[in-house]
Amino acid sequence: MKIKYEKIKGEKDTKARLGLIHTNYGTVKTPMFMPVGTQATVKTLSPEELKAINSGVILSNTYHLWLRPGEDIVDRAGGLHKFMNYDGPILTDSGGFQVFSLADKKNISEEGVIFKSHINGEKLFLTPEKSIEIQNKLDSDIAMSFDECIPYPADYDYAKKSTERTLRWAKRGKEAHKNENQSLFGIVQGGEYADLREWSAKETVKLDFDGYSIGGTSVGEDKKTMYKMIDDAIKYLPEDKPRYLMGVGDPIDILEGVERGVDMFDCVLPTRIARHGNAFTRNGKINLKNAKFKEDFSPIEEECDCYACKHYSKAYIRHLIVANETFGQRLLSIHNLRFLIKLTEDIRESIKEDNYLEFKNNFISKYNNK
C-alpha cells in the first residue's frame, strides 16, 4: 500500500496545516521531524529509544546502505525495517545529495553521476534507475527521486539546465519504480530562481508523485533566500500530498517552514551537535563542555520529559562528553531529538488552536534570548 496524506485542518492566519500520513507501519502526525539513521541506525540509539521520544518516520541513506552493507543484503534480511528492527515508517533519500558532494561537475552526465566512494575511493556510477532500484530493495515506505541539489549561488543557466535534467531524472525514476508497497516523492529544484521553482513544481506535480519535496535549500544561502525558495515552490504543490523540506532541522527554520505549509523535516543536526556536547534548550543551544556546567546538578531542561532530563544532570552528561564516553552522546541525542519532536507536537497543538503565529513568536523570542 502507498502512503496516504490526510489534511485535518489549515491554520487560521498562516499556511500551516495539520495532517496525518497513513503508512504500512502506522499513521503519523504532521508537521513532523524525522530523525536521521544514516547507516540503518540513528547514531547511538535503539529503536525503543526512538519510540520513547515519539518519533514517527525515520530517515535512512541510500548512498550509505548501497555501499555498506549493500542493498541485496538488506533485501535478503527482509528489508530495512526487519534488518534494523524498526517497525515505524522509514523514508530513504535518493543518494543524490551525497553523490554530488563526492563528484566532479564534469562527471555529471544525462545518464547519471560518476563519483568516488568515500570508503575506498572506488569509482561508482549512480543513475536515477539505480537509485530507485536500490530503494526498492531497501523497501523503505517512502523513496525519493534522484535529483541534483543545485549549489548556492548558481548562475541562471546552470540552474535551469540542472532543474530540467532533474525533471527528466524524476520521470526515469518513476518509470523504474517497481515496489508497490513503497511511495515515491518528486523533488522540486530551481535554485534561487522563482520562475525555475514554479516550472519545476508544476512539471513535477504533473508526474503525479505520492508527495513532494523542496530540495536545494540549506546549501549556504541566507535564511531569507531559503524561506523564499520555499514560498516560490510550495504554492504550486497540491493540498492533498505531503510536502517535505529536506535537510532542515534548525528549530527556527522548522517554524518558518511550517508557517509556509511544510509537513515534513529531517536533519542530522540534533545527533551531530550531540556528539560535540551541544544541547537544544528552549532558551537556545548550550554546550555542556563549558566549565560552568561542572557542578550543575540540574537536568538540561527541567520541563523536558526525555530520559536524559528525567535521570541525569548536566554535570554528569558533561563528564561523559569530556571523558569521551558514548553514553553522553546517547543522552544528548535523546534530548536533542526529543526537543525537535516536542517542538512539532507543540506546533501541531498551536495549529489546532489557531494561534500559530503567537506560538512561533513566543518560541523564537525565548530561543534567541538565552
Region from 159-167, 173-181, 194-202, 312-320 binding a second copy, contact rule CB under 8 A: 312-320
Active-site residue flag, 93: yes
Interface characters, 70-89, with a second copy (x: CB under 8 A):
---x--xxx----xxx----
The residues near 22 (Cβ < 8 Å, ≥ 6 apart) are 3, 4, 5, 6
- With CB under 8 A as the contact rule, the residue among 101, 283, 326, 368 that binds a second copy is 326
- With CB under 8 A as the contact rule, the residue among 172, 241, 260, 330 that binds a second copy is 330
Active-site residue flag, 266: yes
Region from 65-73, 176-184, 203-211, 248-256 binding a second copy, contact rule CB under 8 A: 65-73
Cα(290)–Cα(313) distance, rounded to whole angstroms?
14
> Which residue is listed with cell 530561543?
367
Give yes or no for a contact between 246 and 266, defined as CB atoms under 8 angstroms apart: yes
Question: What's the one-letter identity of residue 193?
Answer: Y
Catalytic option among 13, 87, 93, 296: 93
- With CB under 8 A as the contact rule, the residue among 22, 52, 69, 154 that binds a second copy is 69
Cα(75)–Cα(133) distance, rounded to whole angstroms?
11
C-alpha cell at 77: 534480511
Give yes or no for a contact between 17 and 229, defined as CB atoms under 8 angstroms apart: no
Region from 225-233, 257-265, 294-302, 346-354 binding a second copy, contact rule CB under 8 A: 294-302
Region from 61-69, 93-101, 150-158, 232-240 binding a second copy, contact rule CB under 8 A: 61-69
Is 271 among the residues that bind a second copy (CB under 8 A)? no
Cα(203)–Cα(119) distance, rounded to whole angstroms?
37
Burial track 282-291 (b if 16+ CB lie within 10 A, e otherwise): beeebebeee
Min dist CB 343 to a second copy, Å, is 25
Is 241 among the residues that bind a second copy (CB under 8 A)? no
Of the two residues 267 and 321, which places its CB atom closer to a second copy in the complex? 321
Min dist CB 274 to a second copy, Å, is 12
- With CB under 8 A as the contact rule, the residue among 9, 12, 27, 46 that binds a second copy is 46
Q: Taking the CA of residue 174 as centre, how many other CA atoms within 13 Å lie in the half-sphere pointing to its CB?
A: 17
DSSP 108: B
